Structure 1
Amino acid sequence: MRIDCYLLHNGHASSRQKAQELIAMGCVWVNSKPCDKNSLLVAQGDCVEVVRHKQWVSRAGYKLDGFLKTHAIELEGQRVLDIGSSTGGFSEVLLEYGAREITCVDVGSSQLHPTLRGDPRIIVCENQDIRDFVAESFDFVVCDVSFISLRLLLDKIFSLTSKECLLLFKPQFEVGKNIKRDKKGVIKDLSAVSKALEEFLQLVRYKGFGVLACEKSLIEGKNGNEEYFIYLSKS
């Protein structure tokens, strides 16, 4: 039996997608070794362990933590801007990695988790469109937004970044409305995704960023769309 099916059938996950997320987060061990393949076959007698890691306040936290674990990004003592902070998944992880101060900007309100809202290291800017936000540049900028293309925010992000930034590229908001999707909004035309991603990378280079990394998020978007972390430096 596949390991993702095993986790589902044995009550470790409520769906195969949730099981695959556990695997992506490094929570699943088989015979004392970490499992990193959803298709790994397990047999009767194999020892399967599920180790629950720190519970982040939102799904976004698991995405960011998965990326930071494999990249040596210096966050200790940094002033960070979190664009599209929402519940605060990114911010919580950034604090865990040593950020000194985080400014949370979001067009919505009353979304930030109470544990973060009361943290003295967090500055909350609600009902705030980042395009109208005025501040000195930050050491590090993260951006996780929905229902808007990152293309429309690049100039502002560049002006607010003094060193590096990390963007979450969501194809469903970048490929255009004419690209076919399923009932959940998942894009089926992967060539359109590749084209949109490549065009975006060309644009960020044109805007003056250096591309340090572009990698698929270990965890998919809520409805199943693949997402990509794009790690940039200011040239």
Structure 2
Amino acid sequence: MASSKQRLDQLLVMRALAASRPQAQRLIMAGKVRVAGQLADKPGRRIAADAELSVAAGERFVGRGGAKLEHAFQTFGLQASGLICLDIGASSGGFTDCLLQHGAAKVYAIDVGRGQLHQKLRQDPRVVIMDKTNARYLRPDDLGELADLAVMDVSFISLTKVMPAIKDMLRPGAHLLTLIKPQFEAGRQEVGRGGVVREAAVRQRVIEQLRQWGTEQLGLRWLGVC
């Protein structure tokens, strides 16, 4: 039996590849959408409901972090539908946007800065804005509930300083996804100009040290790196 057909713009929204039909239409008209690998330029085109769709990376989200989180979701087979989520180091909200497009019920957008979150996200009732908040000192009572998923992108601090507090904010069986920035984990002598760690061996050692620390000190189960 042939698959039922849907409008391309509607299908993008149904697949969480666009936040709304107007956004889907803009992406299609801008040449950012492919169906089964072929460029699609008509929002009203009817295609099979199970057709392979792709959107150019970085176009779906308000910040570049969204594409990074999307890659992690695909790599590890995770989802956010109906979940309570934490976005640590939310900034403009790339991660938050990705979580919402994947159906998150609520996202706590936490950042030490102020006023950085994209206006679209500030207006979304599912987003709880927590500006001027240092995640290192968060406690479960600060939210009044535990989260199902945490995503993290922090700078100028080691993950070992932040993750213990975040672990306490999560339900048993929850997931934590974080960017690893070697320049904030390696020794000063190992960080080059511009804050770049050029030695592959140093980067790999940082990852292994974090893996070992997380499993032994926090009791976490390591999913991997992508």
- Is the pair's TM-score, using the shorter chain for normalization, greater than 0.5? yes
Paired residue total: 171
1:126 corresponding residue in structure 2: 131
2:223 corresponding residue in structure 1: 212
Aligned runs of 1:130-169 on 2, under 5 Å?
Answer: 130-133=135-138, 134-135=142-143, 136-162=145-171, 163-169=174-180
2:44 corresponding residue in structure 1: none
Q: Spell out structure 1 runs of 4+ moving beyond 6 A.
A: none
1:185 corresponding residue in structure 2: 195
Aligned runs of 1:26-45 on 2, under 5 Å?
Answer: none
| CA positional deviation for 1:28 | 10
More helix per residue:
2
Shift of the 28–117 alpha-carbon distance from structure 1 to 2, 3 Å rule, reads closer
Distance 2:224 2:208 in 1: 13
Shift of the 51–102 alpha-carbon distance from structure 1 to 2, 3 Å rule, reads closer
Aligned runs of 1:1-235 on 2, under 5 Å?
Answer: 52=56, 54-133=59-138, 134-135=142-143, 136-162=145-171, 163-181=174-192, 183-206=193-216, 207-215=218-226
Contact 2:183 2:191 in 1 (8 A): no
5+ unaligned residues in a row in structure 1: which ranges? 1-26, 34-49, 216-235
| CA positional deviation for 1:100 | 0.5
Contact 1:180 1:189 in 2 (8 A): no
| CA positional deviation for 1:149 | 0.7
Contact 2:90 2:109 in 1 (8 A): yes
5+ unaligned residues in a row in structure 2: which ranges? 1-31, 39-53
3-state SS of 2:177 partner: strand
Shift of the 92–51 alpha-carbon distance from structure 1 to 2, 3 Å rule, reads closer
| CA positional deviation for 1:170 | 1.0
Instruction: Output the aligned Cα RMSD.
Output: 2.3
2:4 corresponding residue in structure 1: none
Distance 1:51 1:90 in 2: 17
Q: What residue identity is the alignment partner of 1:88?
A: G
Give the TM-score normalised by structure 2.
0.70
3-state SS of 2:156 partner: coil
Moved more, 82-91 or 72-81: 72-81
